[in-house]
Amino acid sequence: MFTHQGAHRTHAQNLRIAGLLSFVAGAVNVIGFVAVGRLTTNVTGHFAFFMGDVRDQQWRAALVFFLFIFAFFAGAFVSNSLIELARRFRNRNRYLLPILLEVVLLGSVAFAGSELQQWQPNSIALLLLFAMGLQNALVTKISNAVVRTTHLTGLFTDLGIEMSQWFFFKKAEEHAVLRPIIQLRLLIISCFFTGGIVGGLLFAQWLFWSLLLPCLLLLLGLWYDLYKTRRSLGAKTAAQ
């Protein structure tokens, strides 16, 4: 799921990583918004708030939104840097560190979120935005931009185009090309929504401890990937 990249990936691998990470993003999005009233999986809205504060010369508020934007960018930068460093050292599990760092960040908010909410609520949004920048860059890198999991605007645009093409394209081979693409888009959207619903329900009961569910899912995804990789290597060794 995390090991293969680009043309070496199968549709099933893309479906698995899309389902897992979009569920995580949906949960983080709702938990962050309910907790501190901030968007924590994308920065589109923050640009609007930033420019509005600049117009009104509210420099302190503008700085906060600028930091939100920068946190997402910094997460993407760090994610790709870790992947490239692992590549230099020829590490097969080059995507391990970004996922583990995301788990650490989400876990930190889970343990310290209640205290941060009282004294530094914006730091919660910064940590979650950094984590989602990590995740978005990771899945974009792995899938060669086929899969994106932290925001839905582009997905709904692409899905609208592809659904329109489905009705205008009549050949079976054209439908064969569109079918897995539409399936992937629908899976991401549905898992993002499901993650948001589950995250909201859990937050109502467990507050920031609800972020431990995304952490657990990410760790299970890593375990599954390592298990499949070792099993595949074992099978190749036995065949030789």
In a domain, 201, yes or no: yes
Distance CA 37, CA 25 (A): 16
- Contacting residues for 86 by C-beta, under 8 A, at least 6 apart: 93, 94, 95, 96, 97
Distance CA 103, CA 51 (A): 32
CA distances 160 to 10, 154, 164, 166, 185, Å, are 24, 10, 6, 10, 10
User: Looking at residue 233, what is its pLDDT?
Assistant: 62
Distance CA 150, CA 65 (A): 18
Domain holding 63, by residue range, is 6-226
Q: How far apart are the first and last CA of the chain?
A: 25
In a domain, 136, yes or no: yes
User: Looking at residue 221, what is its pLDDT?
Assistant: 93
In a domain, 1, yes or no: no
In a domain, 233, yes or no: no
Query: What pTM, to 2 d.p., does this model score?
Result: 0.92
In a domain, 236, yes or no: no
As a whole number, the mean pLDDT across the chain is 90
Residue range 13-28, pLDDT digits in tens: 889 999 999 999 999 9
Handedness of CA 96, 97, 98, 102 (dihedral sign): positive
Residue range 68-123, pLDDT digits in tens: 999 999 999 999 999 999 888 876 677 889 999 999 999 999 999 999 999 999 99
In a domain, 131, yes or no: yes
Query: Between 238 and 9, where is the model more confident?
Result: 9
How many distinct structural domains can be found in the chain?
1
In a domain, 232, yes or no: no
In a domain, 235, yes or no: no
- Contacting residues for 16 by C-beta, under 8 A, at least 6 apart: 1
